Amino acid sequence: MGQHAILSASASKRWMNCTPSALLEKQFADEESIYAAEGTAAHALAEHKLKRFLKKRSKRPVSDYDCDEMEECTDDYVSFAMEQIEKAKQSCSDPVVMIEQRLDFSRWVPEGFGTGDLVIVADDTLYIVDLKYGKGIAVSAEWNPQMLLYSLGALELFDSLYDIEKVNMTIHQPRLENVSNFEITVHDLMEWAEQELMPKAEMAAKGEGEFAVGDWCRFCKAKNTCRARAEEYLRLARMEFKPPELLSEEEIAEVLKVADELAKWSADVYAYAQDEAITHGRVWNGFKLVEGRSNRKYVNEEEVADAAKAAGYEDIYKKSLIGITEMEKLMGKKDFQKILGSLVYKPQGKITLVPESDKRPPIQTETAEADFKEDE
Ligand code: SF4
């Protein structure tokens, strides 16, 4: 992958919603998070496995992130990819299969390109599959700009050679067991590209348009110091309340609506300021660096055990079972299910107040009341 496009496919949701963000981000250095590095390692392993399945030469990559979970997830992805290839073969005896294919969509987005994990051309259908190794949130393929951009890039490669009428796109997130699929006609894709994509890409490339705050800010390099984001949250925090002295139910509901976002934003700014102070010696008016609380530690466990035993103390060790996640990693998902499936249960979660948009079904008030009483 290496080089990054300013208007990249992976960041397209952000720059399509907040067009000036692409140029604003340019002043921040590229810093690869451990999650991104882990994702890159998983992609390299998946690419290798898929190539071997397709009887192509490939050398197994080695990374610091190799683990049972990555093995299983990439196996899952490869079986899914092979299913897609088999599906394509049902309508076309000799589909074109491309792995980690560079896709150039610069006809619609200035200097735009990305990498398609799996691209299959089977007569009138183009299949695009994207592996997402993260386990943050489930991503939908429906009108997903990243997938639509990959589709445009793939069409640019193959449209003159094949009579492609529709594009079938899938996001595969093995760690979340999420498989999201969306199919679109080439006609609708082109309409979206001309009416939605091109005007926004043009603005984004010039740094024009309005800043817009939303969930896409999460991956923006400017998020800690972005003025638009600060103004939006400070505006929310400056809600005007009128007398009487106590907040009304409506006013409390207003506070709840913004509390979560406000907390995330202030945590981002705090983390940024702290990092600047620690790593660059930056001084913030009214703040200082101090040492956090710490717990006592043994200098050397073996020496401690020897000394305690020599003093006549025998009962100095304790043995405990490893946690569920560690056990699942140790056994692998399938064996874990087979050996311990019936011995693991999920207790009822702590009752929490969340916005209506949350996907979990609401629970009955009576139950909530009863549970709160039990907790008392
Ligand atoms: S933080 Fe949000 S509002 Fe600010 S530039 Fe980035 S995407 Fe736009």
Q: Is any atom of ligand 1 closer than 6 Å to the C-beta of 222?
A: yes
Tell me which residue has its CA closest to atom 1 in ligand 1: 223
Same domain, yes or no: 150 and 17: yes
> Cis (ω within 30 of 0) for the bond into 244?
yes
Same domain, yes or no: 235 and 188: no
For residue 214, give the ligand 1 atom closest to its CA: 2
Q: How many whole angstroms separate alpha carbon 264 and alpha carbon 150?
A: 31
Q: Is any atom of ligand 1 closer than 6 Å to the C-beta of 229?
A: yes
355 within a domain of the structure (yes/no): no
38 within a domain of the structure (yes/no): yes
Tell me which residue has its CA closest to atom 3 in ligand 1: 213
Is there a contact between 10 and 146 (Cβ–Cβ < 8 Å)?
yes
Q: Is any atom of ligand 1 closer than 6 Å to the C-beta of 216?
A: yes
Q: How many domains does the chain have?
A: 2
Q: How many whole angstroms separate alpha carbon 307 and alpha carbon 156?
A: 73
302 within a domain of the structure (yes/no): no
| Average pLDDT, integer, range 304-308 | 95
Q: How many whole angstroms separate alpha carbon 40 and alpha carbon 34?
A: 10
Q: Is any atom of ligand 1 closer than 6 Å to the C-beta of 23?
A: no
Tens of pLDDT along 36-76? 899 999 999 999 999 998 889 899 999 988 988 899 999 99
Tokens of 345: 């249960």
User: What percent of the chain stands above pLDDT 90?
Assistant: 59
Give me the chain's average pLDDT, please.
89
Name residues whose C-beta falls within 8 Å of residue 119's C-beta, 6 or more positions apart in sequence.
96, 97, 98, 101, 103, 126, 127, 128, 129, 150, 154
Q: Is any atom of ligand 1 closer than 6 Å to the C-beta of 220?
A: yes
Tokens of 100: 């980690």
Give the amino acid at 63: S
Q: Where does the pLDDT of residue 2 fall: very low under 50, low under 70, confident under 90, or very high at 90 and above?
A: very low
What's the pLDDT score for residue 1? 40
Same domain, yes or no: 29 and 170: yes
DSSP code per residue over 228-292? HHHHHHHHHHT----SSSSPPHHHHHHHHHHHHHHHHHHHHHHHHHHHHHHHH----TT----PP
Name residues whose C-beta falls within 8 Å of residue 96's C-beta, 6 or more positions apart in sequence.
119, 120, 121, 158
Tokens of 335: 């064996």
Work out whether strand 166-173 and strand 125-131 pair parallel, antiparallel, or are unpaired.
parallel
262 Cα–ligand 1 center, Å? 15
100 Cα–ligand 1 center, Å? 30
Same domain, yes or no: 197 and 143: yes
Domain that holds residue 106: 12-205
322 within a domain of the structure (yes/no): no
Same domain, yes or no: 154 and 254: no
- Strand (E) or helix (H) holding 104: strand 96-104
pLDDT over 50 at 235, yes or no: yes
Q: Which of 175, 205, 235 is the last residue of a domain?
A: 205
132 Cα–ligand 1 center, Å? 23
Q: Is any atom of ligand 1 closer than 6 Å to the C-beta of 24?
A: yes
CATH number of the domain encompassing residue 43: 3.90.320
Same domain, yes or no: 24 and 156: yes
Q: Which of 177, 205, 233 is the last residue of a domain?
A: 205
Give the amino acid at 49: K
Higher pLDDT, 291 or 29: 291
Best of 19, 227, 229 for a ligand 1 pocket test (most atoms within 8 Å of beta carbon): 229
14 Cα–ligand 1 center, Å? 8
Q: How many whole angstroms separate alpha carbon 82 and alpha carbon 185?
A: 24
What's the pLDDT score for residue 297? 93
Q: Where does the pLDDT of residue 370 fall: very low under 50, low under 70, confident under 90, or very high at 90 and above?
A: low
49 Cα–ligand 1 center, Å? 38
Same domain, yes or no: 87 and 148: yes
> Which has the closest alpha carbon to 38: 133, 178, 177?
133
Same domain, yes or no: 142 and 57: yes
Give the amino acid at 137: I
| Average pLDDT, integer, range 18-32 | 89
What's the pLDDT score for residue 94? 86
Q: Which of 280, 295, 323 is the last residue of a domain?
A: 280
What's the pLDDT score for residue 92? 84
What residues are paired with 178 via a beta bridge? 173
> Which has the closest alpha carbon to 14: 213, 232, 207?
213
Tens of pLDDT along 313-361? 999 999 899 999 899 989 988 899 999 999 999 888 888 888 787 778 8
C-alpha distances out from residue 47 to 28, 101, 108, 153, 327, Å: 30, 11, 28, 19, 28
Q: How many whole angstroms separate alpha carbon 328 and alpha carbon 340?
A: 9
